[in-house]
Amino acid sequence: MEHGSITAEDYLKIIDELTNYRGYATLNDISKFFSVTRQSVYDEMNILIDRGMVERTSKGEYVLSEKGKHEANIFLRKHRIAEILLSRALKMRWDLLDSEAMGIEHGITETIASLVCENYGCEKCPHGNPVPDISGNVTEPNDLSFQEIGKYSHVRVSRVIFESDDVLRYLQSNSITPGADLVVGDDGGVYFGHEGGRSMIPEDIAAAMKFFPQ
C-alpha cells in the first residue's frame, strides 16, 4: 500500500490493527504495509515512544499505550466514517474502502462526520468495526477471534480487524464480508461454501477476522 504522506495517526491506526491481529506490531510489518523503509518506521516509532503513544513490550514488538489507543480511536472515527461515505455515497467497492479512505480521512471534519452519521448511520464501518464517538470512546463487540472458535461449529463474520489489501481482496473475491456464514471443520479450519463445494480460508486471512458463534 503506497501513501504520499504518512502521518503519526496512520502509524497509530496500523499498530492498533496489528495488535488486534496478532498481539503486537513489528517494524517489518509496518514497513511492508506502508511500503517504506524499516529505518523510516524505526525513526517514527521512537518519536511516538517519546510522545508516550507507543510502548516497546519486547525486542522488536510494539503496542499502543493508553494515550496512544485513545488518539488512535479519535483518528479511527474519521477513517471509518470516511469508509462509510465512500461506500454509501459513492458505492465504492468494499475491498478498496480502507486504502481510499486513507486519502480523505484527514479532511473529515466533525461537521462532515455528523452529516454522514445523520444520512447513513455510523454504528459500524463497512468492514464491521465500531465507530468511536467524538471523544474516542468505543464499545467493542463481544465477538471471537479465530483462535477462540471451536471445531465443528458454525460462525458468522463479525468484522475484519486487519484491513490489508491482500486480506480485503481475498475476502471480496470470495464474497466473505460481515454477516457471511462460515463453518469450522474438524481440523479447526474455517470454510466457506461455493458452487464447487467448500474451501478453507487461509489461516492468516481467518485470523484477520472476528466471529459470532451461531
Q: Same domain, yes or no, for 134 and 154? A: no
- Tell me the three cell numbers of residue 87: 461506500
The 10 Å CB-count burial string (b at 16+, else e) for 179-208 is: ebebbbeeeebbbbeeeeeeeebeeebbbb
Q: Same domain, yes or no, for 30 and 83? A: no
Is 15 a domain residue?
yes
Q: Same domain, yes or no, for 175 and 195? A: yes
Q: Same domain, yes or no, for 164 and 123? A: no
Whole domain around residue 198: which residue ranges? Answer: 144-213
Torsion sign, CA atoms 168, 82, 63, 47: positive
Query: Residue 61: its pLDDT value, please?
Result: 95
Q: Same domain, yes or no, for 57 and 93? A: no
Identity (one letter) of the amino acid at 188? G
Query: Residue 60: its pLDDT value, please?
Result: 87
Q: Which of 140, 163, 191 is the last residue before a domain boundary?
A: 140
**24, 62 Cβ separation under 8 angstroms:** yes
- Tell me the three cell numbers of residue 2: 503506497
Q: Which of 118, 140, 162 is the last residue before a domain boundary?
A: 140
How many residues comprise the chain? 214
Is 72 a domain residue?
no
Determine the distance from the C-alpha atom of residue 211 to the mean position of all C-alpha atoms in its chain, rounded to a whole number: 14
Q: What angle do CA 38, 44, 47 make, to 5 degrees?
A: 145
Half-sphere exposure of 72 (CA within 13 A, CB side): 22
Domain total of the chain = 3
Q: Same domain, yes or no, for 127 and 178? A: no
Provide the 3-class DSSP secondary structure of residue 147.
Answer: helix
Each of the 214 residues of the chain gets a pLDDT tens digit; together they read: 444 578 999 999 999 999 999 999 999 999 999 999 999 999 999 999 999 999 999 888 999 999 999 999 999 999 999 999 999 999 999 999 999 999 899 999 999 999 999 999 999 999 999 999 999 999 999 999 998 998 899 999 999 999 999 999 999 999 999 999 999 999 999 999 876 788 999 999 999 999 999 8
Is 209 a domain residue?
yes
Largest CA distance in the chain: 54
Is 46 a domain residue?
yes
Q: Same domain, yes or no, for 163 and 187? A: yes
Measured CA to CA in angstroms, residue 93 lies from 105, 119, 169 at distances of 17, 20, 10
Query: Residue 3: its pLDDT value, please?
Result: 46
Q: Is 12 exposed, middle or buried, given 0-12, 13-18 or 19+ CB atoms closer than 10 A?
A: buried
DSSP bridge pairs for 171 = none
Is 71 a domain residue?
no
